[in-house]
Amino acid sequence: MASNFKAPRGTFDVLPEAAPVRRRIDRTAQRILEAAGYGRIDTPAFEDTDLFARGVGESTDIVQKQMFTFEDQGGRSLTLRPEATASVCRAYLEHGMQKLAQPVKLWTAGPYFRHERPQAGRYRQFTQIDAEAIGSDSPLVDAEMILLAHDVIAELGVEGVLLRLGSLGSPAARTAYLDELRAYLRSREGELSDDVRARIDANPLRAFDADHEGTRRVMDEAPTLLERLDQPDAEHFDEVRHLLDRSGVAYHLDPTLVRGLDYYTRTVFEFECEHLGAQSGIGGGGRYDGLIEQLGGPATPGCGWALGVDRIAIALEPPGGPREGEAEEREGVFVVAEPEDRQAALALVTELRREGLAADLDLADRAIKGQMKQADRVGARHALILSGAGPGTLRNMDTGEERQIDPAKAVAEIAGS
């Protein structure tokens, strides 16, 4: 009987058959990031609530609605991490990494938690791979970051990916721009949809996403933030674009790209996968030159991204079965034996495993026929059928080909084949 317990809403179990694609994502990111000099860091799964309130930003949806916050026995307010950047910056300061050669390049991966409304591709516990380069404001950092994320996604073979790129400039330029945009929208209020009109104060940028025809006409002529960047920010962004153009990475310039976290300055970007429906963002990031200061450190620039492992896994392996090529190849040996040869079977399997080979045996008292079926089920490349002290039979499970094998030499022969 199934129990009444279920994984909590918005969470899921990663079953063994879903593991290979996630492992491939992890390994690909690790290889690409470590080749680029990024060192692995792991931070706690929970932090002082204040770190995220200050780091991610009081006004964001994440801090206002989505944090899993609790009080510990000592009355401290703690929060399950909703993202990695604030924690990595906290660790950078706590361990005096500003004394190291800059930028300090770090990467991490693991579970993150946001109390969002669950739907396909949006969970309350999700997995990110995150990279941060802290301590340099060179546009080279932005370009390198984007290239690395691009390469991870491309190497994995995710199809239909679009890179959106924008710049938010400085907080001051952004505030001035938003005031200008509000004034512009008010000057043409009569042409806007009710929805957009109601949100002029709260979120004027929403108007850029509207489908409403009148609103679209108004927005075609609206000023954009990119046109209002301060000179140094505009030059920085030009250089990032120039570097990307030279590296051959295609991007879509998006003057209205906004991100759900408050710490961004200058470059922002998002990778979208067109096969994913509503939750199409498979990764995103940008520069956060004010964050470390916001956390009480010296003025220190930074830039980074996070990739969404769960969404990339869905893109590579849509529900309903793996795409071609994602199925695992058969490997290893399944030792088949009569009950009286059990001990020999266990000894042989142990020896094969110590040689680094995948080896398995029946653990459920199956008859020989059942053991052969089990060998097939577990995906063994060979079955080794023992027969007392006499020679055993090695069967290739793909071709059905069989040959005799001396059990005493089986380990050496199989290890060498």
Q: How is residue 122 annotated by DSSP?
A: B
- Candidate list 110, 255, 260, 322; residue touching ligand HAM; CB under 6 A: 260
Stretch that binds ligand HAM, among 123-131, 230-238, 321-329, 403-411 (CB under 6 A): 123-131
What residue type is 397 in one-letter code?
Answer: M
Half-sphere exposure of 258 (CA within 13 A, CB side): 15
CB of 41 to ligand HAM, least distance (A): 13
CB of 85 to ligand HAM, least distance (A): 4
String of contacts with ligand HAM for each residue 208-247, x by CB under 6 A:
----------------------------------------
Helix (H) or strand (E) holding 409: helix 407-416
Residues 77-106 that bind ligand HAM (CB under 6 A): 83-85
Q: Which is nearer to ligand HAM, 286 or 332 (CB)?
A: 286
Q: With binding defined as CB under 6 A, does residue 282 bind ligand HAM?
A: yes
Determine how many CB atoms are found less than 10 A away from the CB of residue 213.
10
Question: Residue 264 in contact with residue 286, Cβ under 8 Å?
Answer: yes
- Estimate the crossing angle of helix 19-35 against helix 309-316, to 10 degrees: 120
CB of 283 to ligand HAM, least distance (A): 5
Residues 261-280 that bind ligand HAM (CB under 6 A): 261
Question: Residue 397 in contact with residue 383, Cβ under 8 Å?
Answer: yes
Alpha-carbon distance of 182 to 188, in angstroms, equals: 10
CB of 350 to ligand HAM, least distance (A): 41
Token output for 281: 């963002």
Write out the E strands in 288-354.
302-308, 333-336
Q: With binding defined as CB under 6 A, does residue 285 bind ligand HAM?
A: yes
| Residue with the CB atom nearest ligand HAM in the bound state | 308
Token output for 379: 């995906």
Stretch that binds ligand HAM, among 124-132, 246-254, 331-339, 409-417 (CB under 6 A): 124-132
* Paired residues of 80 in beta bridges: 46
Q: Which residues bind ligand HAM (CB under 6 A)?
A: 83-85, 114, 116, 122-123, 126, 128, 130, 132, 260-261, 281-286, 288, 304-306, 308, 310-311
